[in-house]
Amino acid sequence: MTNSYTLSTTPLVASSAQLRWNIDTSSSQTPLKLANGRVTLGGWMLAEDQQSPRLAVKNGYATYSYPFNVKRPDVVSAILQQPADNHPRLGCGFNLNIPFSSQITLGLESDGLITWFAELNFSPAC
C-alpha cells in the first residue's frame, strides 16, 4: 500500500458569509504521509448563527463528529476582521488524525444536521 498521497479538494457548497472554510493540509507540493492507516487533516471553518458547531467527517467506513480543537486568531483577524482576544469564534480550527480513505467528505454538523461542504480526494504520490 502506498504511504504518500497528494490531496485535492473539491468544494460542495460555495463559500459565503454563512459558511467559510479552508483546508490547511492541502498541498500538492508536499505529499501527505500515512501513519498506521491514518491521515492528519488541519484547517478551519466559520459558520454564522450556529450553536456549538462540530466538524463531520465521512470516509468509506463511517461518519465521525469532532469538536473544533484549535484556536485560530489568524482566521478571526483576517476573515472576520475583528480582534482575536477572547473572541467567541476563536476556537474555529481543527487538527485531526482520522482513519484514511481515498475520499473523505467534510461537513458542518449543527443541531443534528450535516451540511457537507468539501470532498477531499487522495491520490498516490509519484
78 in a structural domain:
yes
Tell me, yes or no, whether 126 lies in a domain: no
Q: Which domain holds residue 117?
A: 4-121
Query: What is the pLDDT confidence band of residue 1, given thresholds at 50, 70 and 90?
Result: low
pLDDT tens string 20-48? 999 987 555 678 888 888 989 999 999 88
User: Once rounded to an integer, what is the mean pLDDT over residues 44-64?
Assistant: 90
Q: Which of 53, 76, 57 minimizes the C-alpha distance to 65?
A: 57
Place of cell 457537507: 116
Residue 2: the pLDDT is 63
For the cut 70, the answer to whether the pLDDT of residue 64 exceeds it is yes
> How many domains is the chain partitioned into structurally?
1
Separation of alpha carbons 48 and 37, rounded Å: 34
Model pLDDT for residues 68-117, shown as the tens digit of each residue: 999 999 999 999 999 999 899 999 999 999 999 999 999 999 988 999 99
Domain membership flag for residue 26: yes
Cα 120 to Cα 6: distance, rounded to the nearest angstrom: 10
- Gap between the Cα atoms of 51 and 105, Å rounded: 22
The CATH number linked to 34 is 2.60.40
Rounded Cα–Cα distance for residues 57 and 42 (Å): 12
Of 107 and 3, the structure prediction assigns the larger pLDDT to: 107
Q: In terms of residues, how long is the chain?
A: 126
Cα distance from N-terminal residue to C-terminal residue, the chain: 13
Residue 16 lies in a domain: yes
> Up-side HSE of residue 14: CA atoms within 13 Å toward CB?
2
pLDDT of residue 49: 76
pLDDT at 34: 87
Query: Exposed e or buried b for every residue in 60-94, given b needs 16+ CB within 10 A?
Result: eeeebeeebebebeebbeebeeeebeebebbebbb
The verdict on residue 71 lying in a domain is yes
Query: Which amino acid is it at 107?
Result: G
